[in-house]
Amino acid sequence: MAIIEVKDLFKTFQAPGGRVVAAVDNVSFSVEAGTCLGIIGESGSGKSTLGRLLLRLHEADSGSILLDGQDIRALGAAALRKQRQHWQIVFQEPFASLNPRLSIRQIVEEPLIVARTFKSRSERQEKVVRTLEEVGLSAEFLDRRPANLSGGQQQRVGIARALVTDPTIVVLDEPTSSLDLTIRASILRMLSELQRARGLTYVFISHDIDTVRHFCSQVAVMHRGRFIEVGTAHDVLNDSREPYTQKLLAAAMPPLSYIPPGDVADPDPLIPPKVVTA
Ligand SMILES: Nc1ncnc2c1ncn2[C@@H]1O[C@H](COP(=O)(O)OP(=O)(O)OP(=O)(O)O)[C@@H](O)[C@H]1O
Ligand SMILES: [Mg+2]
């Protein structure tokens, strides 16, 4: 069953100088529940705009978006606030996306307060601790501020904040591109395990073709706001007949092995090597 259904989505921005840019231009696609749609394309092709439109962090000009069968463009402010808990996003720059004045506890608790999931503070706190554990952070992080964490730990907090409300759909907008290679591998492995354990649906925006190949069953190629093609990862990444896709793949870096064989030594000693049991 499709959990995301997008039809004829369109979004323009006014560029400096008054020029109008179609950042997302007539895009349609669907995503089956529990799978991952990868979105690749060069810088400025509209990937982040599409990810934000999906969760109504931007308002579309026209088109329809059904998430879990709900027409999210039609929701009023109160309904949208209530539904947000089911649809979350992880951003590229963890530090910029975390409020530096709040403790990790407050950052991860906030979505629960907005969603009014639990009546009591102690239930919320318990959920915060459990979710941090799921992303490999122990309770000793609760009272720290984002600035006292490594980049990888900050992104684990970003992921915990997205998962604490038990969403069904998560948009991952280049979640590891600001991180070192070894940390990137352990975060990707964790995201993959979380997807399996929680049955999550991912929209995974990435420049890294090899990661998308491992992670996603379906892949869409974006260029100047349009979907050039969408299909199975194998068809798009190995057998594409589209000249633009062929050019994009040829320009990509040689594949990096994104899940190293066996348990690599994690450079961050506070993160246990295996964070989730399936
Ligand atoms: N808030 C905004 N105001 C004006 N123009 C915007 C805004 N956000 C995006 N754009 C423009 O829309 C187009 C698509 O941008 P977007 O950030 O979605 O691309 P992207 O594929 O995510 O790029 P990158 O790979 O660099 O992250 C670009 O031309 C960008 O300049
Ligand atoms: Mg982007």
pLDDT at 252: 80
Q: How do the domains of the chain map onto residue ranges?
A: 2-251
CA-nearest residue for atom 28, ligand 1, is 44
- Please say if the pLDDT value at position 261 is more than 70: no
DSSP strands (E only) in the chain: 2-14, 20-32, 36-40, 62-67, 70-71, 87-90, 169-173, 201-205, 218-223, 226-232
- Please say if the pLDDT value at position 117 is more than 70: yes
- Please, are residues 155 and 187 in contact by the beta-carbon 8 Å criterion? yes
pLDDT at 264: 43
| For residues 96-106, average pLDDT | 96
Ligand 1 binding pocket mutation candidate from 47, 93, 171, 227 (most atoms within 8 A of CB): 47
We find that the CATH architecture of domain 2-251 is 3-Layer(aba) Sandwich (3.40)
pLDDT at 207: 87
Give the global pTM. 0.90
Residue percentage of the chain with pLDDT more than 70: 91
Give pLDDT tens digits for 167-190. 999 999 999 998 998 899 999 999
**SS3 label, residue 175:** coil
Instruction: Let me know if 171 is exposed, middle or buried by CB neighbors in 10 A (0-12, 13-18, 19+).
Output: buried
Bridge partners (DSSP) of residue 6 are 29, 65
Cα–Cα distances (Å) from 178 to 22, 69, 184, in that order, read 27, 34, 9
**Per-residue DSSP letter, 197:** H
Whole-number Å distance, alpha carbon 16 to ligand 2 midpoint, is 19
Ligand 1: residues within 6 Å at CB?
13, 15, 21, 23, 41, 43-49
CA-nearest residue for atom 30, ligand 1, is 44
pLDDT at 49: 98
With tokens 């492995």, the residue in question is: 189
pLDDT at 272: 38
Sign of CA dihedral 137, 36, 248, 14: negative
